[in-house]
Amino acid sequence: MSCRLLLVIFLLCAGLLPKARAQSRADDNVGETALRRGKGPRWLNRLLTGSAVLSPHHVGLSIIDVTTGEPVYELNGAEYFQPASTMKLFSLYAGLHLLGDSLPSLRYVVHSDSLIFWGTGDPTLLHGDVPSRRAFAFLQSRPEKLFYTTIPSVEAFGPGWSWDDYNYYFQPERSPFPLYGNTVRFRAAPNQALRVAPRSFAALVEPAPPGTTSPDHVRRPLLENRFVVYPSARSWTDETPFRTDSELVVKLLQDTLRRPVLALPWRPWPQESIRTVQGVAVDSLYRRMLQVSDNFLAEQLLLLCSSRLGADSLSTARVIRTMHRQFLADLPDAPRWVDGSGLSRLNLATPRDLTALLLKLHQQVPEPRLLSLLAAGGGHGSLRRGYHDARGTWFWGKTGTLTNVHNLSGYLRTHKGRLLAVSFMNNNHVAETSAVRREMERILAQVRERL
């Protein structure tokens, strides 16, 4: 008879085996509870772990006192989450370090009677929401012949983007010399002609075939600049991205400037001969990008940063490498950062990475300016419908939402006047985003009252 069998017989006779199994189950339960227990106030722990809305999915929360830098609470703070648009805080940090007070709008060289120019990634030229006409006025007024050249740049879509979102306003193509935000704007009203801007795209608009329907007002074929408009009895406004290339840029410039523009193949130029036309103040781009979570502006911001690192190409990856090595090496965990907007599912960051970044931002940017750039509870941007009460706004920050993902990172002002950096992350939820959002606000309102 084996020693193991003798031991089992002895335990059964002594009545110890069920007890041992019960103790094992109890130990397992303690382990499971420990995985869900955060470090910090017990009442906050109970709010999070006892939430029926949050308990089915992956939740992380990191809170740091901005004044002291001391951790206040942490739940799964070192675990990686898909950050979605909270990645725009990393893009802001890159801009603050690599750009000056204004955007570089275009680069050019002059040879005899010719002006050769190319893009820096500046998205504001004739943009519908952050418009700049500085490059336009410069090109319009120059006496030389105009030649446009396309600088080597990134692919139109970022790694890990959803290809079938190409038709929607939130995913325009990235490009070195964007015009009109790389989108066509449509405005329709009953008994009125459809308005199309820029007008040069009007010839590419066609009505939907009779009897066809779509949940969208406008559909564009994947590989064509052809816009199919579906009938509606109501007024509507929509934006649809267009496919862009150097040929289209030249055509749009000629139509807008009302003067000839010719295309030239790219060639590197000696640095001493390159000049830069400065554009709008950087805060006008940062504010729009953060408050309404504009993906296009965020992507182009990293291309603008790349233009500061070198005039030979525009590379998102080069900016990210520079930021990792020179400015973000001291983050608690190494984020996986692949794009400027957070559209990519390949991005990964931990809650404590984001609170550490918020702390860096607060240390380097005056607080009034920093808070003015962010969405404000009850005020403007993506937080305008929440995070405020009769005493005013108490949260400023950046939301991040994808399907099954909803995150919030920013600054919370407690009732006692304490400023906290907060990163509250929810991944893989199947509840409605609105329910997750309300539960987050309920919990953070308690943080405001009790800390």
CB atoms within 10 A of CB 112: 7
The residue range of the domain holding 331 is: 42-94+304-450
Residues 429 and 316 in one domain: yes
pLDDT the model gives residue 258: 94
Residue with tokens 């296009």: 296
pLDDT the model gives residue 191: 86
Residue 271 lies in a domain: no
List all residues 6 or more positions away from 207 whose beta carbon is below 8 Å from its beta carbon: 228, 229, 231
Which stretches in the chain have pLDDT values below 50?
Answer: 3, 5, 7-13, 16-35
Residue 119 lies in a domain: no
| 107 bridge partner residues | 118, 276
Residues 328 and 418 in one domain: yes
Residues 317 and 436 in one domain: yes
Q: What is the pLDDT of residues 9-26, one digit of tens each?
A: 444 445 544 444 434 343
Among 197, 220, 243, the domain-final residue is 243
Q: What pTM does this model have?
A: 0.90
Rounded to 10 deg, the angle between the 88-98 and 316-326 helix axes is 80
The Cα 18–Cα 46 span in angstroms is 32
Q: Which two tokens stand for residue 445?
A: 């309102």
**For the residues of 215-252, what is the DSSP string, one character each?**
SSSEE--TTS--EEEPP-SS-EEEEEE----HHHHHHH
Sheet bearing 102-111, strands edge to edge: 261-264, 145-149, 114-119, 102-111, 275-281
pLDDT the model gives residue 404: 96
Instruction: Give the three-class secondary structure for 136.
Output: helix
Residue 334 lies in a domain: yes
- Residue 428 parent element (H or E): none
Cα 105 to chain center, whole Å?
Answer: 22
pLDDT the model gives residue 20: 41
* CA-based nearest residue to 83, from 317, 400, 297, 440: 400
Sign of CA dihedral 37, 38, 42, 47: negative
The Cα 71–Cα 69 span in angstroms is 7
Rg of the chain (C-alpha set): 27
Instruction: Give the three-class secondary structure for 275.
Output: strand
Among 243, 262, 283, the domain-final residue is 243
pLDDT the model gives residue 133: 85
Sign of CA dihedral 350, 353, 355, 361: negative
Cα 326 to chain center, whole Å?
Answer: 22
pLDDT the model gives residue 418: 96
> Letter for the amino acid at 355?
T
The Cα 411–Cα 355 span in angstroms is 9
Residues 225 and 310 in one domain: no
The CATH number assigned to the domain holding 389 equals 3.40.710.10
Residues 311 and 409 in one domain: yes
Answer whether 394's CB lies under 8 Å from 411's CB: no
The Cα 131–Cα 154 span in angstroms is 23
pLDDT the model gives residue 272: 83
Instruction: Give the three-class secondary structure for 365.
Output: coil
Residue 233 lies in a domain: yes
| 408 bridge partner residues | 399, 424
Q: Which two tokens stand for residue 174?
A: 């990235």
List all residues 6 or more positions away from 443 whose beta carbon is below 8 Å from its beta carbon: 44, 47, 48, 51, 424
Residues 218 and 356 in one domain: no
Residue 168 lies in a domain: no
- Tally the domains of the chain: 2
Residue 406 lies in a domain: yes
Instruction: Give the three-class secondary structure for 176.
Output: coil
Residues 211 and 325 in one domain: no
> Letter for the amino acid at 350?
T
The Cα 170–Cα 153 span in angstroms is 20
Answer whether 66's CB lies under 8 Å from 411's CB: yes
Residue 5 lies in a domain: no
Among 243, 275, 293, the domain-final residue is 243
Longest Cα–Cα distance in the chain:
104
The Cα 32–Cα 14 span in angstroms is 30
Torsion of the alpha carbons at 162, 347, 313 and 130, rounded to the nearest 10: 70
Residue 331 lies in a domain: yes
The Cα 349–Cα 73 span in angstroms is 18
Cα 241 to chain center, whole Å?
Answer: 18
